[in-house]
Amino acid sequence: MSNTQAATRMTEGPIAGQMIRFALPLFIGNLFQQLYNTADALIVGNLIGSEALAAVSATGTLVFLLVSLFAGIASGAGVVVSRYFGARDPDRMRAAIHTVLALDLMTAALLTLIGTTLTPAILRLMGTPADVMARSTAYIRIYFAGSLGLVLYNSCRGIMQAVGDSRHPLYYLVTSSVINVFLDLLLIGVFHMDVEGAALATILAQFVSVILCLRRLMTTTEEYRVRLREIRCDWQMLKLIVQYGLPAGLQNSVIAIANVVVQANINAFGTMAVAGCGAYGKIEGFAFLPITSFTIALTTFVGQNLGGREYERAKKGAGFGVICAILLSETIGLLTWLGAPVLIRAFTQEPEAIAFGVGKARICSLFYCLLAASHGLSAVLRGAGKAVIPMVSMLSFWCVVRVAILHFAVPVYQSINTVNWVYPITWALSTVFLAIYFFRADWLHSFERQN
């Protein structure tokens, strides 16, 4: 395949076929990413034990907390790049690309500092069980030592996806996934490393994908080619990137804080609860795959078409993408509900941990359609440059309401099912709010008004 065939303008051609062709490589790529994340858990849980699985699981919300702010800002870059790509404005597009790469270098250094120094204090605040504290701390410190690879990969992948290239990120993700699993087996199975081996395998595989992404972006003949000497902050572009990305980053960070509260409530039920719910979290990641695939496709599609002033096309594509995400995720939810005992047992053989995991699956899985609707509508609005609206929705319902339920209901009922029910309840509330805005507000002309 030649370099000139990679980028795809989504402002013309059949909407359904074009969006599916764009989303399918994203789905496969996300599947591989989830598979190697799951491989980490399977290898850790089966070769080291349930306590090691609990140690890794206990760090999940902390990882999301520290990464989400910067990932959200990077998503703002994707909106800006897709906008100028759709508007056929290569100069501004290149300025946005090089600005986000400069921003990555600064934020990766900050993320490494925060992640390696504050981890023990944050884990203690989360109420991480004492018997897994040392392992959790060791895992997270190694993980965040590789922050540069994590941040750069997300941005490079976002740049390629913003111009309609979802295939190359797929190739690189598959490669890094295979390397990650190989290193897991080598470091843990052969060299008998503890959870540090899983963390090291992850960051080494991440750097391989970064090298492949940068090589692609620096050698392409397309107008989005990266040149090292041009990596600097264009203040106008930085302002736009932050304007579109900061609400998403703040939203994700505050949601992550709320999830830290959720995790603390799970921790209170003991190590087996942490292990079982952590195993379910890996399974839920698979249900999230169609949502992630179509939300990225939606943001890119809407951004390009509104940049090119194809308003009716943007509206039709938004509806198609949201519906596809809902149908696919609910199908997976039904399969998860039916297969929960077998799926959880793949991660741990502890009967108590299995019971906790199955209990959470049986409550949450039937409501995946609400999760898909909420994220799909948010993706459309972010692609239109209306990132504040999803932020308000998520902060109100996924944070304030979620924490309030936990604060008042858990002491009364003293059941982990109370913790599990906060998810579908808050998914439903945010979906209703976003749907009302989607159908009643004029989000189609947001870029035009900004100009």
The pLDDT score that the predictor gives to residue 36 is 65
Q: Give the contacts of 358 (CB within 8 A, at least 6 positions apart).
A: 276, 280, 340, 341, 344
Inter-CA distances, 405 with 125, 126, 164, 273, 418, Å: 20, 18, 41, 20, 8
Amino acid 449: pLDDT: 59
Residue-wise pLDDT for 319-368, tens only, equals 998 998 899 889 989 999 999 999 888 877 888 888 998 999 999 999 99
Give the pLDDT of residue 437.
94
Rounded (5°) CA angle 229-230-234: 145
CB of 283 within 8 A of CB of 356? no
Sign of CA dihedral 141, 143, 146, 148: negative
Residue 27 has, within 13 A of its CA and on its CB side, a CA count of 14
Domain spans in the chain, listed from the N-terminal domain onward? 15-440
Give the list of residues 6+ apart from residue 271 with CB closer than 8 angstroms, or none. 50, 51, 54, 129, 131, 132
pLDDT at 1: 37
Task: Give residue 424's pLDDT.
Answer: 94
Rounded CA separation 66/49 (Å): 27
The Cα 250–Cα 243 span in angstroms is 11
Angle at 25 between CA 24 and CA 26, to 5 degrees: 90
Residues 103, 233: Cα–Cα separation, whole Å: 7
Residue 29, both tokens:
């790529």
**What's the pLDDT score for residue 451?**
55
Residues of the chain where predicted confidence (pLDDT) is lower than 50: 1-5
Residue 334, pLDDT score? 93
| Cα separations in angstroms, 193 against 117, 320, 334, 378 | 23, 47, 37, 41
DSSP for 182-234, written as a single string = HHHIIIIIIS---HHHHHHHHHHHHHHHHHHHHHHHHH--STT---GGG-S--
